[in-house]
Amino acid sequence: MSDSPLLDLAPLSAALQRFADERDWQRFHTPRNLMLALTGEVGELAEIFQWKSDAECARLGDDAASWTHLNEELADVLLYLVRLSDVLGVDLDAAVRDKLVKNAQKYPVPSPQ
Protein backbone atom coordinates (compact mmCIF):
# COMPACT_ATOMS: atom_id res chain seq x y z
CA MET A 1 0.00 0.00 0.00
CA SER A 2 1.18 3.49 -0.82
CA ASP A 3 2.37 5.79 1.95
CA SER A 4 0.15 8.59 0.65
CA PRO A 5 -2.72 9.53 2.98
CA LEU A 6 -6.12 8.02 2.40
CA LEU A 7 -7.84 10.52 4.67
CA ASP A 8 -7.12 14.20 5.12
CA LEU A 9 -9.09 15.01 8.24
CA ALA A 10 -7.06 18.03 9.33
CA PRO A 11 -9.57 20.64 8.09
CA LEU A 12 -12.49 18.78 9.67
CA SER A 13 -10.59 18.25 12.92
CA ALA A 14 -9.75 21.94 13.07
CA ALA A 15 -13.37 22.92 12.40
CA LEU A 16 -14.60 20.58 15.14
CA GLN A 17 -12.01 21.95 17.56
CA ARG A 18 -13.08 25.52 16.80
CA PHE A 19 -16.75 24.58 17.22
CA ALA A 20 -16.03 23.03 20.65
CA ASP A 21 -13.77 25.91 21.72
CA GLU A 22 -16.33 28.58 20.77
CA ARG A 23 -18.91 26.87 22.98
CA ASP A 24 -16.52 25.95 25.82
CA TRP A 25 -17.37 22.28 25.27
CA GLN A 26 -13.84 20.95 25.88
CA ARG A 27 -14.82 19.87 29.37
CA PHE A 28 -17.61 17.74 27.93
CA HIS A 29 -15.52 16.19 25.19
CA THR A 30 -14.03 13.42 27.25
CA PRO A 31 -13.40 10.08 25.53
CA ARG A 32 -16.26 8.52 27.51
CA ASN A 33 -18.76 11.25 26.63
CA LEU A 34 -17.75 11.27 22.98
CA MET A 35 -18.00 7.49 22.77
CA LEU A 36 -21.49 7.57 24.30
CA ALA A 37 -22.53 10.33 21.87
CA LEU A 38 -21.10 8.33 18.96
CA THR A 39 -23.00 5.24 20.09
CA GLY A 40 -26.20 7.28 20.25
CA GLU A 41 -25.67 8.57 16.73
CA VAL A 42 -24.98 5.06 15.42
CA GLY A 43 -28.28 4.06 17.05
CA GLU A 44 -30.06 6.90 15.26
CA LEU A 45 -28.50 5.74 11.99
CA ALA A 46 -29.62 2.17 12.69
CA GLU A 47 -33.20 3.36 13.29
CA ILE A 48 -33.38 4.51 9.68
CA PHE A 49 -32.88 0.91 8.55
CA GLN A 50 -34.77 -0.81 11.34
CA TRP A 51 -37.79 -2.81 10.21
CA LYS A 52 -37.13 -2.11 6.53
CA SER A 53 -36.43 -4.77 3.93
CA ASP A 54 -33.20 -4.67 1.94
CA ALA A 55 -35.21 -3.40 -1.04
CA GLU A 56 -36.69 -0.56 1.03
CA CYS A 57 -33.25 0.38 2.30
CA ALA A 58 -31.91 0.45 -1.25
CA ARG A 59 -34.63 2.97 -2.14
CA LEU A 60 -33.95 5.44 0.69
CA GLY A 61 -32.74 7.94 -1.88
CA ASP A 62 -36.14 7.99 -3.54
CA ASP A 63 -37.62 10.07 -0.71
CA ALA A 64 -35.99 13.46 -0.16
CA ALA A 65 -36.74 13.56 3.59
CA SER A 66 -35.40 10.05 4.15
CA TRP A 67 -32.30 10.83 2.11
CA THR A 68 -31.65 14.03 4.07
CA HIS A 69 -32.11 12.19 7.37
CA LEU A 70 -29.68 9.46 6.27
CA ASN A 71 -27.08 12.05 5.25
CA GLU A 72 -27.42 13.88 8.57
CA GLU A 73 -27.01 10.75 10.66
CA LEU A 74 -23.99 9.57 8.65
CA ALA A 75 -22.44 13.02 9.14
CA ASP A 76 -23.12 12.89 12.89
CA VAL A 77 -21.38 9.52 13.16
CA LEU A 78 -18.36 10.81 11.25
CA LEU A 79 -18.17 14.02 13.28
CA TYR A 80 -18.16 12.21 16.62
CA LEU A 81 -15.70 9.59 15.35
CA VAL A 82 -13.26 12.26 14.19
CA ARG A 83 -13.66 14.25 17.41
CA LEU A 84 -13.12 11.11 19.53
CA SER A 85 -9.99 10.18 17.58
CA ASP A 86 -8.61 13.71 18.02
CA VAL A 87 -9.25 13.76 21.76
CA LEU A 88 -7.54 10.37 22.10
CA GLY A 89 -4.66 11.32 19.80
CA VAL A 90 -5.43 8.59 17.27
CA ASP A 91 -4.27 9.21 13.70
CA LEU A 92 -7.29 7.86 11.83
CA ASP A 93 -5.46 7.82 8.51
CA ALA A 94 -2.68 5.66 9.95
CA ALA A 95 -5.20 3.44 11.74
CA VAL A 96 -7.23 2.93 8.56
CA ARG A 97 -4.17 2.19 6.45
CA ASP A 98 -2.91 -0.31 9.05
CA LYS A 99 -6.32 -1.98 9.25
CA LEU A 100 -6.58 -2.30 5.46
CA VAL A 101 -3.23 -4.11 5.40
CA LYS A 102 -4.35 -6.44 8.20
CA ASN A 103 -7.69 -7.10 6.47
CA ALA A 104 -5.88 -7.96 3.22
CA GLN A 105 -3.77 -10.49 5.12
CA LYS A 106 -6.77 -11.90 6.97
CA TYR A 107 -8.97 -12.07 3.86
CA PRO A 108 -6.67 -12.74 0.90
CA VAL A 109 -7.96 -12.61 -2.65
CA PRO A 110 -9.00 -16.16 -3.58
CA SER A 111 -6.75 -17.76 -6.16
CA PRO A 112 -8.43 -18.68 -9.45
CA GLN A 113 -9.71 -22.22 -9.59
pLDDT digits (tens, 9 = 90+) for 13-34: 999 999 999 999 999 999 999 9
Model confidence, pTM: 0.91
Going by pLDDT thresholds of 50, 70 and 90, the confidence category of residue 102 is very high
> What is the pLDDT, as a whole number, of residue 10?
96
Q: Check pLDDT > 80 for residue 2.
A: no
Going by pLDDT thresholds of 50, 70 and 90, the confidence category of residue 113 is confident
Distances (CA, A) of 75 to 45, 105, 106, 112: 10, 30, 30, 39
> What is the pLDDT, as a whole number, of residue 1?
64
Ordered structural domains, the chain, with CATH = 10-91 (1.10.287.1080)
> What is the pLDDT, as a whole number, of residue 46?
98
Nearest alpha-carbon partner for 38 in 75, 91, 70: 75
What are 55-97's pLDDT values in tens digits? 999 999 999 999 999 999 999 999 999 999 999 999 999 999 9
Q: Are 84 and 34 in contact (CB under 8 A)?
A: yes
Q: Are 29 and 87 in contact (CB under 8 A)?
A: yes
